Structure 1
């Protein structure tokens, strides 16, 4: 894939970027609704059946938990249909080698994986009040896949809108440090999923201070999920410092309006997320605060992906020679 690739101006082609952006926004809403399922303990609302709900296609006389879980399955299924439509439209209106085709296929594959991971959780009983350590691992994998899915949908939307493809190799330190930043965010997100699970299952309802809570997390009777709760805030501080530096570094190495804009957005969302993180701890992780924290985490990830994308594709003049990202 080389150069700046654009979608044909045909009527069907005009719908491709619209569908791609709509799929991205819709999936963010589905992810937030999935968090509601976890927070309300409704993950076992359909029993240990998947893809059926309590052994039937449509549950009869459902409880509130069943309604919440079943609605999440329906909305998740709709995201799969959106992904299929995105693939079909991308292959119809773009030429061979167009990056939007790759993005659409990756998005569909990651949505399938998202559903499979969710199904594994249900079939293994890693829902509701389960404190099995395997639940923490699956939650982390689920969140990492969610991040990758949103990145794929974002890139698909950009490529469908006529943005250039990516050249991942021979990007020098810009590429290397950018990939480190993306990796740190993935690990931070996975740790955050485990911490959110620990807050749901083990956070004391009494007036314990944060220090007392940490001591409890490392008591002899504490589970692995409790032990890992402290990892997320420590990683958050490390990752935040690195992302601030990364923004400064990319501004210097790949000067341009887009890099400056998205580094600013990244820093703004990062500041809001740090405030939300402290508030989440101080308020003992109420459900609404967890949703805000997750929404900001998704925004931070998308801002980072945009910054890295712009840095890898923006024209950079170094040593008298122009360089630009062109191929995946």
Structure 2
């Protein structure tokens, strides 16, 4: 029994690390959604132009609602950073030098540090609350892309900690190009969505007809004029993503993730329609963003399973499709 104790201990430690890694992914999704609430509620200036302090204090006294919202975002973001640091340390202790888990964990740390830097610049440059500048739209777009990269790195870290094989990046054939198209489509939708959400925050419409009319008005703000790009990009990208997922559904290794991707795209399409119909209330924006993050995570898992060593012994898009018909 003593001989088996080290093995049991190792397995228990691996299980704890696996749960911790996926917990870090989940926590970061919640932080991202709360960050959207900061923007939608115009609370980004709740701590003034101070960073990392809030109105010059470590813990500000109870006061304005905007201060509470912004301070909570910074606090939860700080916990997220500590979680990623813990994930890096734990991964370095558990896995050998050069292991792919170590690399993914380090990239997670890099992206969350960039995330903090972008957040700090938004505050210091006062690109928050009612700011209507082009710079704010640019920073928000970069913020969105980096957020997706952070989520992707964290998801891959947790995925490979869970025992799945690393990717094989040689001889991908059409699979690699299709996946690249799916990720590019998701990023375009994300960026246009960030700009549309900013327009909805700064210039809320009182009716659907008014909102549509403003999009084609020469006097409208550029974020309003560009708002139509998001639904168009969403329709086109949905077609691309669903096509890729449908093709990869024929492989046993990728079928589960492919079905999840297709399901989330369907849910997002419905949520998008509801969001437009209801004139983008804050609660619906947050739900819409949550499923956007879920779709990105599902896409990452689909790619990881498609590019895994076993799955890419042959190109999943050209491999026999007997699985799909059995």
Inter-CA distance 208–82: structure 2 relative to 1 (3 Å threshold): closer
- Residues 160 and 166, structure 2, Cα contact 8 Å, conserved in 1: yes
Within 5 Å, give how 1:298-309 maps onto structure 2: 298-309=293-304
User: 5+ residue gaps in structure 2?
Assistant: 1-8, 320-326
Inter-CA distance 317–96: structure 2 relative to 1 (3 Å threshold): closer
Inter-CA distance 317–69: structure 2 relative to 1 (3 Å threshold): closer
- Residues 133 and 223, structure 1, Cα contact 8 Å, conserved in 2: no
Aligned residue in 1 for 2:322: none
Deviation per CA, 1:199-238: give whole Å up to 9, x if none: 1111222x341xx423312322222212221111100000
Aligned residue in 2 for 1:187: 188
TM-score by length of 2: 0.90
User: 5+ residue gaps in structure 1?
Assistant: 1-7, 324-328
TM-score by length of 1: 0.89
Deviation per CA, 1:75-120: give whole Å up to 9, x if none: 1011111111111110011112211101111111111111111111
For 2:16 and 2:278, locate their aligned partners in 1 and report how far apart those are by CA, in whole Å: 44
Aligned alpha-carbon RMSD (Å) = 1.9
Aligned residue in 1 for 2:244: 246
Aligned residue in 1 for 2:3: none
- Residues 178 and 308, structure 1, Cα contact 8 Å, conserved in 2: yes
Query: Bigger shift: 306-315 or 113-122?
Result: 306-315
Give the 3-state SS of the residue equivalent to 1:221 in structure 2: coil
- Residues 214 and 225, structure 2, Cα contact 8 Å, conserved in 1: no
Query: Bigger shift: 57-66 or 91-100?
Result: 57-66
Aligned residues: 308
Within 5 Å, give how 1:1-328 maps onto structure 2: 9=10, 11-205=12-206, 207-209=207-209, 212-252=210-250, 255-256=251-252, 258-313=253-308, 314-316=310-312, 318=314
For 1:284 and 1:169, locate their aligned partners in 2 and report how far apart those are by CA, in whole Å: 47
Give the 3-state SS of the residue equivalent to 1:44 in structure 2: coil
For 1:223 and 1:266, locate their aligned partners in 2 and report how far apart those are by CA, in whole Å: 34
Inter-CA distance 160–180: structure 2 relative to 1 (3 Å threshold): same
Aligned residue in 2 for 1:326: none
Inter-CA distance 70–318: structure 2 relative to 1 (3 Å threshold): closer
